[in-house]
Amino acid sequence: MHAVGTVTGGGLAAPWPSSLHSQLDGFARFGNKGCGRRGDGASKGDGKVSFWGLAQLGISTVIFLLAAMAAKQWGLAPSFAKLLLTLALYTAGNLIMLRLVREFGMSMSFSLSAVIQLVSVNVVALALFGERLNAFQATGMMLAIAAVALITLGPYMQRL
């Protein structure tokens, strides 16, 4: 029987053995030299998006877009193969997002990804599947785009 590990900072007992806790901690740091300890909020970047980060964000967006299209196809004509394809695509996209969270932090990564997906999925839904947005939905989309622009430009605007 393994001893139960504790989460640093909060003093709460983790529901997994301490040996698994060390393995999970090692996975969290895999390939991320210079990052802070797991859970301390530290990330490699300074809030600015690098070219490689944008490329990864683009790749994850394409994967999530393909996953959304596979989910729509499954919704129109369900099959086990379409379900497996959808799950595999969403899993691949989320694995890339985990890397982006380590590099840019959770708020920046998920905010950018959410709005980019919001726009791209709606473009596909409107153009390919003939879906429509009402005025309130379109206004919400514009406000979301403006919010992400402010989040993304924040590090650059602080210097002004």
119 HSE (CA, 13 A, CB side):
13
pLDDT, tens only, 20-35? 445 444 444 434 444 4
Q: What is the pLDDT, as a whole number, of residue 25? A: 47
For residue 98, the SS3 value is: helix
Q: What integer best gives the mean pLDDT of the chain?
A: 76
Flag whether the pTM goes above 0.85. Answer: no
Q: What is the DSSP letter of 130?
A: -
Confidence bin at 48 (pLDDT 50/70/90): low
Q: What are phi and psi of 16, to 5 degrees?
A: -125, 160
CA distance 123 to 149: 19
Rank 37-51, 87-101, 144-158 by mean pLDDT and report only the highest.
87-101
Q: What is the pLDDT, as a whole number, of residue 67? A: 95
Q: What is the pLDDT, as a whole number, of residue 36? A: 45
Amino acid of residue 117: Q
In contact, 44 and 99? CB cutoff 8 Å: no
List beta partners, residue 13.
Answer: 6
The count of other CB atoms within 10 Å of the CB of residue 104 is 24
pLDDT, tens only, 82-94? 999 999 999 999 9
User: Residues 6 or more apart from 70 whose CB is under 8 A from it?
Assistant: 82, 85, 86, 89
What are the distances in angstroms from CA 43 to CA 26, 104, 109, 119, 155? Answer: 16, 6, 11, 27, 15
pLDDT, tens only, 102-120? 988 888 888 888 888 888 8
